[in-house]
Structures are given as structure tokens and as C-alpha cells.
Amino acid sequence: MKNIKIIILTVTISAIIMPISGFAFSNGDVQFWNTESIETNVNDKLKIKVEEELRFGGDISELYYEHTDAGFNYNVTKGLDFGLNYRQICEKKDGEWKNECRPHANVIFKGDWQGVKISDRNRFELRCPEDKDDKWRYRNKLSVTLPWKWTSFDIQPYLADEVFVDFHGDRITRNRLYSGIKAKLMEHLKSDIFYLCEFNKSSDKVWTYNNVIGLKIKLDF
């Protein structure tokens, strides 16, 4: 058990350090993403959640993205959740703000091994931009939360990888690699601070990337 923990800790430190050392001083854009959310339990099985997210790009010099998302999450069994959400997006593209509505369904498989929590979220979203045809997209996010909690704030490290698959044209168009820490600030207030390296495939099939620092604050009751 001790050897397993040492191996996991080594992998975690490498995953956090390598993206930063490999990309922080490259030509990728530096961004800041901030998410605020409220979540409440309707009963033992059902939760409802509302969130607001802002994204700043251009080396954190301007706001270019905003979304509001609301929906519910139902705990089907111990290892399975199901959710339905509606997201309204406003994004700045080529100097103009564009709107997009995006309903999405989520199927989440959960489990744990040796205290390591594993989550596999499968999202199917219908993208409805104001000036383009509607399109379906699949997003798979695999998250691994490590078994340690530090200090009275329950600081806990995690890693995640999210792949975006379009159901038209090119398949894999985006990939996000996360490394971060979650913490319990107060009884009903939680935080998530992370580094994210986002790879995007452009229309001319060229891969670019962004360096993102993220902060999530969630109030649950």
C-alpha cells in the first residue's frame, strides 16, 4: 500500500510540473477561467445546480467568453449518475459577440480503487450557434482524485483529461489536460484551483494550445 501511494504521488507531481515547464514559456495564450456555482440537494438522489463562468484571454487582458448553465444530477446507483443541463453561451469571435445555446446530457460512471476516486463523465451536447447549423458533440472527461487530504481545508489533488469528439468532419478537435487541487474553505463552500493545457484543432487542421489557470468556487447546501 505504501509503495502504491509513492508511485501515485510521483505521477501526480510529474503531471503537474511537466505541463508547466513544457508550455508556460511558449507561444500559447495565457488565460484565466473563473466559475461560480450554487448546488443544492432536493433529496438523497437529486441535486440541482446553477453556474456562471467567465474566461479571459489575450494573456488575461480581455473577457472573451461567458456562459450560464443550469440543470440537475440524479444518482441512479452508487456508481452511476445522470444529468440534464441547458447552457447559454456568449463568445467573442473575430471581434463580434456570438450566442450559442447548448443543451447537454451527462452519464457519469464513478468508482474507487485503493482510495483513489475515479470519475468517467460522458457528455452529449447539441450545439446551436446563432449563425451556423446545429451540431452534435461528445465529450469524455476522465478524472482521478488522489486519496490524500491535507490540512483542515481537506486539500486534495486530482488529475483529469477531457477529449472532444465532433460528430461531423474531423473527429477529435480538442483535448484538455488538468492538474489541480480541491479544498473545503468552509462548511458549505468549496474551491478548485487548477492548471489546464488546452489543445485545439483549427479549421486548417493545425493544433494550437492555451495555458489556463482556473478557479472554481461552489456553494452547496
Tens digit of each residue's pLDDT (9 = 90 or more) over 65-124: 999 999 999 999 999 999 999 999 999 998 999 999 999 999 999 999 999 999 999 999
* pLDDT tens digits, one per residue of 177-198: 999 999 999 999 999 999 999 9
* pLDDT tens digits, one per residue of 138-159: 999 999 999 999 999 999 999 9
CB atoms within 10 A of CB 198: 20
CA distances from 29 to 60, 85, 160, 176, 205 (A): 9, 29, 21, 14, 18
Q: What cell does 210 get?
A: 492555451
Can you tell me the distance from the alpha carbon of 11 to that of 112, in angstroms, rounded to the nearest whole number? Answer: 18
Q: Does domain 2-220 have CATH number 2.40.160.40?
A: yes
Residue 28's pLDDT band (boundaries 50, 70, 90)?
confident
| Greatest mean pLDDT range, 31-45, 165-179, 190-204 | 31-45
H/E run at residue 16: helix 2-23
Q: Which residues 6+ apart lie within 8 Å of 94 measured at CB?
A: none
Domain extent listing, the chain: 2-220
